[in-house]
Amino acid sequence: MAARPVVEVRGLWKSFGDKEALRGVDLKLHDGETLVVLGPSGCGKSVLLKHVIGLMEPDRGSIIVEGRDLSGLSQAELNEIRQKFGMVFQGAALFDSMTVGDNVALPLREHRGMKGERLSALVEEKLELVGLKGISSLRPAELSGGMKKRVALARAIALDPDIILYDEPTTGLDPVMAEQINELIRSTQRKLNASSIVVTHDLHSACFTGDMVALMDEGRIAFYGTTDELTTTENEAVRNFIARGHPAATGAPGGSGAGPACADDPFA
Ligand SMILES: Nc1ncnc2c1ncn2[C@@H]1O[C@H](COP(=O)(O)OP(=O)(O)OP(=O)(O)O)[C@@H](O)[C@H]1O
Ligand SMILES: [Mg+2]
């Protein structure tokens, strides 16, 4: 792993009115690594990602991307940094009025000024990477939940990002579909050699996709370690998170979630 992190979050605080969403988050993403951010609903995961990509401004603290502090950058500089990122938003966030192909083409048109045959070929290539060849003329309404997440990933990798951010990539999918997305995250990582942050509350997804894991609890990082350490730690927040029995934590609807953290870890 490289010495300098690709993304560094330092002492990040953010409130909305009386609600303190982030209360001093420190976190590092290293080159080529997949960092999973786990945590219960409402603990601040999405807000954290939005700061990393510069969509929200900190009340206090800083975000440093490839050595550059985002605060104090001009809008043009921020736009340039944002192109290093691909983001798969929670719920896919596709444009329903556009075809699948136009959704994937959007960043290429906007940021690279691409059009015509070259654009269509590249869109098809990106769709093929996520296992969806030949569907570019369909509309999002014609796709399953898992297919929508794949299209969102194809759009996120359109500009060959250095860093990919995934917000709840498996939420709302059945276990088979969720597993396909987990595998896609891993294979995309290998093919693009990107660094990734995967936000999830799904423990199995965390173990399958992650190198490092951070557990967020009430706006703070309560645990940071490897997926192996997640299994063995006595950290109270981790034990509580597992014991609380998020159905998704076992990969099975209604599961107890109360086993060893990474019992179904493919590397165990
Ligand atoms: N734009 C906003 N305006 C006001 N409050 C917000 C805003 N965005 C987030 N919050 C609040 O900040 C807290 C953290 O929200 P966040 O969306 O980061 O949670 P999360 O961990 O992503 O949850 P989930 O797992 O349900 O997606 C919540 O209390 C939420 O209501
Ligand atoms: Mg969220």
pLDDT, one tens digit per residue, over 16-37 is 999 999 999 999 999 999 999 9
pLDDT, one tens digit per residue, over 122-167 is 999 999 988 888 999 999 999 988 899 889 999 999 998 999 999 9
Does the C-beta of 19 come closer than 6 Å to ligand 1?
A: yes
Q: Are residues 40 and 169 both part of a single domain?
A: yes
For residue 62, give the CATH number of its domain: 3.40.50.300
Q: Is residue 89 part of a domain?
A: no
Minimum CA distance residue for ligand 1 atom 12? 21
Q: Are residues 18 and 56 both part of a single domain?
A: yes
Q: Are residues 190 and 74 both part of a single domain?
A: yes
Does the C-beta of 15 come closer than 6 Å to ligand 1?
A: no
Q: Give the range among 41-55, 102-116, 139-153, 233-247 with minimum mean pLDDT.
A: 233-247
Per residue in 14-45, is it b (16+ CB within 10 Å) or e — as a string?
A: beeeeebbbbebebbbbbebbbbbbbeeebbb
Does the C-beta of 41 come closer than 6 Å to ligand 1?
A: yes
> E strands along the chain, which residues?
7-16, 19-29, 34-38, 60-65, 68-69, 85-88, 163-167, 195-200, 212-217, 220-226
Minimum CA distance residue for ligand 1 atom 4? 16
Q: Are residues 148 and 200 both part of a single domain?
A: no
pLDDT band of residue 67 (cuts 50, 70, 90) is very high
Task: Find out whether 149 and 168 touch, Cβ atoms under 8 Å.
Answer: no
pLDDT reported for residue 122:
94
pLDDT, one tens digit per residue, over 90-131 is 877 899 999 999 999 999 999 889 999 999 999 999 999 888
Q: Is residue 190 part of a domain?
A: yes
Q: Are residues 134 and 117 both part of a single domain?
A: yes
Tell me the C-alpha to C-alpha distance, in Å, between residue 38 and each of 147, 166, 199.
24, 12, 6
Q: Are residues 214 and 268 both part of a single domain?
A: yes
Q: Are residues 118 and 156 both part of a single domain?
A: yes
Q: Are residues 134 and 151 both part of a single domain?
A: yes
Q: Name beta bridge partners: 8.
A: 28, 64
Q: Are residues 166 and 53 both part of a single domain?
A: yes
What's the rounded Cα separation, in Å, for the pair 252 and 131? 24
SS3 11: strand
Q: Of how many residues is the chain composed?
A: 268
pLDDT reported for residue 3:
64
Q: How far is the CA of 88 from the centre of ligand 2 (A)?
A: 12
Q: Are residues 189 and 267 both part of a single domain?
A: yes
Q: What is the mean pLDDT of residues 157-185?
A: 89
Percent of the chain residues topping a pLDDT of 70: 90
DSSP string, 202-258: -HHHHHHH-SEEEEEETTEEEEEEEHHHHHH---HHHHHHHHTT-GGGGTSTT----
Q: How far is the CA of 63 from the centre of ligand 1 (A)?
A: 19
Task: Find out whether 234 and 242 touch, Cβ atoms under 8 Å.
Answer: no
Residue after which a domain boundary falls, among 105, 125, 160:
160
pLDDT of 187 strictly over 60: yes
Domain count for the chain, please give it. 2
Q: Is residue 236 part of a domain?
A: yes
Q: Is residue 205 part of a domain?
A: yes
pLDDT band of residue 61 (cuts 50, 70, 90) is very high
pLDDT band of residue 254 (cuts 50, 70, 90) is very low
Q: What is the mean pLDDT of residues 236-259?
A: 60
Q: Are residues 134 and 233 both part of a single domain?
A: no
pLDDT reported for residue 251:
39
pLDDT reported for residue 129:
86
What is the residue range of 255's domain?
1-84+161-174+185-268
Q: Is residue 123 part of a domain?
A: yes
Q: How far is the CA of 48 from the centre of ligand 1 (A)?
A: 9
pLDDT of 39 strictly over 80: yes
Element (H, E) at 150: helix 145-156
